[in-house]
Amino acid sequence: MKRYSRELTVAIALSALLVLLAIFAPHFFQPQPLLARLTAQVPVLVLTIGMAVVIISRQIDISVGSQFGVCAVVAGLMSAAGAPLGFALLTATLTGTAMGALNGFLVAWLGLPSIVVSLATMVTWAEVLRLFQQGRFINLPPRVQWFGFSQLVGQASLLFFALGLLGAMAYFLKNRTGGRHFYAVGSDSEAARLAGINPRGVTMLAFVLMGTLTGIAAFCNMVQSPQVDPKCGVGLEMKAIAAAVVGGVAVTGGRGGLWGAFFGLLLLATINPALTYMHVDAYWEKAIQGLVILLAVIADGLRTKRSAA
Amino acid sequence: MNSAPLLRLTKITKSFGAVRALKGVSFELNSGEVHALLGENGAGKSTLIKVITGAHKPDGGILEIAGSQVSDLTPTRARELGIACIYQQPALFPELSVAENIGLRLECGATFGCVKWKKLHANALRLLKQIGADIDPDTPVHSLSMPQQQLVEIACALGSGAKTVIMDEPTASLTRTEQELLFGVVHTLKTSGVGIVYISHRLEEIFALADRVTVLRDGESISTQAVRGAEGSALISETDLIALMVGRPVSALYPLKAKVTGKPVLELCAVGCEESGVKEVSLTVHAGEILGLAGLVGAGRTELARIIFGITPADSGTLAINGAPVRVLSPRHAVELGIGYVPEDRRRHGLIMQMPIDQNMTMAVHPKLFPNSLLNIRAETALGVHFIEKLGIKASGPDALGGSLSGGNQQKVSLARWLATKPSLLILDEPTQGVDVGAKSEIHRLIRDLANEGMGVLLISSDLPEVLGLSDRIAVMRGGRLVETLDSTQATATSVMSAALRSA
């Protein structure tokens, strides 16, 4: 049980918040708004999955917000030009994969620090997007939103897809040797190398995966609205990082899991509506989110200190 | 010499956990004297230096500096009392100039946080002149050679008013002429009344420089004697010193040696690597055999292991595994070829500290234990439990983190990793370093069991009794070359040590 103590803590905090809501604001659990709020988190959840893997490998990718914007515009333009949804998904995913591969190449093969590399690509992609799209929204044909189905079916299928992806990736990380390698490299890449693992390949894979998931996330975002906002990715990297960190993925690498990150995301995403429903001034939202992140990092710090002693 | 000695240590003891690094060392340094400190790797020299410089607090014994007893020495206090240490790798700021480095160290040349460049420069120049070093104070340190950097360190020591200068293998990376330069400086220091503790593995330097020599062995000071008589004739021979350093009976507790050995599992022919300084090494390890690799630290043993394991691939010579010539290009490749490696720096790279021990054990096994790359968590836990029992690992369970174990138990976990893969060649680099006596003999037995199961073992160890007791054959390296291969029945501590030390 000790291995999952952090996941449990976050899950308990989330449950406590939900119980509070159930007592003081039962409106929160009205099916339709709840489903809408959950679906709105699907793109961030997909990003969080990738980010958790990147952080477990002791790297960081702050360019995902910009990458997300690029992928969204690519998918949007494809759809607007009349391409089928599957093709839009494919192009967005390939675009994301290519951008992830660039980050991965610079970090894994040239040995550059990932924070600097992804800062550079973050700025670059954002500027490319600004020059190319100049802030124009892309109007989508009606068949795109909710895949052309009813809103309920669209939302449900997005949620099922996201949870399926989460389950599959969590299984991969925990039960496949390839998943274990992320933990090994993130804990101690030299020790992993001496055990016969190829740390470069593993690091590369983490970034490529992040890019692929970014493309998928951008697609999941597009199908929820009638337009594509080229600025839709701004700040998403921070949400994904925060969710992973709150959920117990250690920024020092090698520790944490996807279920924890999932609970972390839900906790952070519940704070805002909770405040609204409990009639607390919404201005507190960011401060409280910040506090939660700080608590998570402090908990990690204490835990590391204890295990070192 | 009317005054008290600069330094007097009486029966100093120091333990780290169960390891008794110093078991009662007495040492004395007079003003104007070069006192050499000699001993095998692990005899306690480094610990002793750290006690003198205040980095370690001794558990017992008396430490006197300039006649007065000091009980709570800190590195800062030691510096104030005039003790300076010059390490093999100078600890200077590479991007700053020589003058800036000296100024920083001496905390001079600045008033109220303002740097007085002229004063800084003049002071550096004066100190460098004093030791006869021809270095421009404005040169950035990174463009200086290693010995020049050492001279800067010495200038710092001098400038801080050091009365005691400790030199830890100062010549290890120097060329002949650079050595001469350093020796000159040592003489200058000596005549100005500074006392020098001189540590070196090169016996000829001790005869050239030292007035007295103290031999450490197993954390005890064995003997202190004058090197030269009044008329300059040597009072002690190289052979005497080596005998003093190794002079202990080899423990009879080692497991029985191999009776038969099988086919060669590893054959090296004139293998070399420019980058790591290994030159033309030829050797063979047979199945069921333990080949001990002896030599001093820096003789190229670990470097050779890293070549075989593909960390720094060889750039000359040929290498064959199980009779088939191969080029080992990466550790991953090496594992596939059936080579296992337990690295020297276990604390850092032998084990993933924040991973549970069962996962650590299966780390290198993945392809063999888990076909289709599917992890079987239950089988993994079972494997953990199995090896915990088989090797007598003291841990709370297979999910205990690697970092929570003691040194000996960590070592067993990293051995278990390779036991599970059953490699045909296992390279062990200092497998019992920092391991307490009990666990040590268990590990020895384990290594022999592995060989008996048909594994070829290449054992790198600086622990002479271990090499002699455990190995079937002993290869000695010096300066990146393999200089001698001895059968363990003929090898003695003295023959191995003199092969490792002999002045070339």
A212-266 pLDDT, tens digit per residue, is 999 999 999 999 999 999 999 999 999 999 999 999 998 889 989 999 999 999 9
Query: Are A180 and B366 an interchain contact pair (Cβ–Cβ within 8 Å)?
Result: yes
Distance of alpha carbon A26 from alpha carbon A34, whole angstroms: 11
Q: Which pLDDT tens digit goes with each residue over B122-139?
A: 888 888 888 777 888 888
Query: B140: burial class by Cβ within 10 Å (0-12, 13-18, 19+)?
Result: middle
A203: nearest Cα among A121, A122, A112:
A112
Percent of chain B with pLDDT over 70: 91
Q: How far is B353 from chain A (nearest CA, A)?
A: 8
Instruction: Note whether B127 and B170 are within 8 A (CB).
Output: no
Query: Are B354 and A308 an interchain contact pair (Cβ–Cβ within 8 Å)?
Result: no
Which chain A residues are Cβ-neighbours of B311 within 8 angstroms?
193-194
Asked if B334 reaches chain A (Cβ–Cβ under 8 Å), the answer is yes
Q: How far is A309 from chain B (nearest CA, A)?
A: 9
Asked if B371 reaches chain A (Cβ–Cβ under 8 Å), the answer is no
Q: Are residues B328 and B412 in the same domain?
A: no
pLDDT at A1 (0 to 100): 43
Asked if B331 reaches chain A (Cβ–Cβ under 8 Å), the answer is yes
Residue range of the domain that includes B485: 251-338+423-504
Which chain B residues are Cβ-neighbours of A308 within 8 angstroms?
403
Q: How many domains are there within chain B?
A: 3
Instruction: Note whether B154 and B181 are within 8 A (CB).
Output: no
Better-predicted residue by pLDDT, A71 or B175: A71
Q: DSSP states of B152-164 as a string?
A: HHHHHHHHTT-SE
User: What's the whole-number average pLDDT of chain A?
Assistant: 91
Q: Which pLDDT tens digit goes with each residue over A5-28?
A: 788 888 999 999 999 889 988 888
Neighbours of A90 (CB within 10 A): 16
Q: Are residues B234 and B262 in the same domain?
A: no
Distance of alpha carbon A225 from alpha carbon B333, whole angstroms: 50
- With respect to residue B146, please indicate whether it lies within any of the assigned structural domains: yes
Distance of alpha carbon B425 from alpha carbon B319, whole angstroms: 13
* Interface probe, candidates B363, B365, B378, B426, chain A, greatest A C-beta count within 10 A: B363
Asked if B309 reaches chain A (Cβ–Cβ under 8 Å), the answer is yes
Measure CB to CB from residue B352 to each of A3, A176, A191 and give the nearest one.
Answer: A191
Q: How much is the CA Rg of chain A, to the nearest whole Å?
A: 19
pLDDT at B247 (0 to 100): 67
Q: Which pLDDT tens digit goes with each residue over A100-149?
A: 999 999 999 999 999 999 999 999 999 999 999 998 999 999 999 999 89
Q: Are residues B242 and B302 in the same domain?
A: no
Q: What are the residue ranges spanned by the domains of chain A?
A: 2-303
pLDDT at B265 (0 to 100): 93
pLDDT at B433 (0 to 100): 75
Residue at which a domain ends, from B367, B388, B422 = B422
pLDDT at B434 (0 to 100): 67
Distance of alpha carbon A72 from alpha carbon A233, whole angstroms: 8
- With respect to residue B2, please indicate whether it lies within any of the assigned structural domains: no
Check which CATH number belongs to the domain holding B139 and give it. 3.40.50.300
* Interface probe, candidates B357, B373, B378, chain A, greatest A C-beta count within 10 A: B373
Q: Which pLDDT tens digit goes with each residue over A25-60?
A: 888 888 998 999 999 999 999 999 999 999 999 999
Neighbours of A223 (CB within 10 A): 24
Query: A27: burial class by Cβ within 10 Å (0-12, 13-18, 19+)?
Result: exposed
Query: Are B349 and A188 an interchain contact pair (Cβ–Cβ within 8 Å)?
Result: yes
**Is B504 a residue whose pLDDT tops 60?**
no
Q: Which pLDDT tens digit goes with each residue over B61-107?
A: 899 998 888 888 888 888 888 898 887 677 788 888 888 888 887 76
Question: CA angle B388-B389-B390, nearest 5°?
Answer: 100
Q: Which pLDDT tens digit goes with each residue over B12-55?
A: 998 877 677 888 899 999 999 999 998 876 678 888 988 998 88
Instruction: Note whether B278 and B299 are within 8 A (CB).
Output: no
Q: Are residues B384 and B483 in the same domain?
A: no
Which chain A residues are Cβ-neighbours of B309 within 8 angstroms?
194
Which residue stretches of A81-108 are H helix?
Answer: 85-104
Distance of alpha carbon B414 from alpha carbon B425, whole angstroms: 15
Q: Are residues B356 and B415 in the same domain?
A: yes
pLDDT at A299 (0 to 100): 82
Q: How far is A295 from chain B (nearest CA, A)?
A: 22
List residues bridging with A130 in a β-sheet: none
Distance of alpha carbon A177 from alpha carbon B358, whole angstroms: 14
Which CATH number applies to A2-303? Answer: 1.10.3470
Better-predicted residue by pLDDT, B346 or B361: B361
Least confident stretch, A168-172, B151-155, B268-272: B151-155
Give the pLDDT band (50/70/90) at residue A279.
confident
Q: Are residues B13 and B156 in the same domain?
A: yes
Percent of chain B with pLDDT over 90: 20
pLDDT at A266 (0 to 100): 95
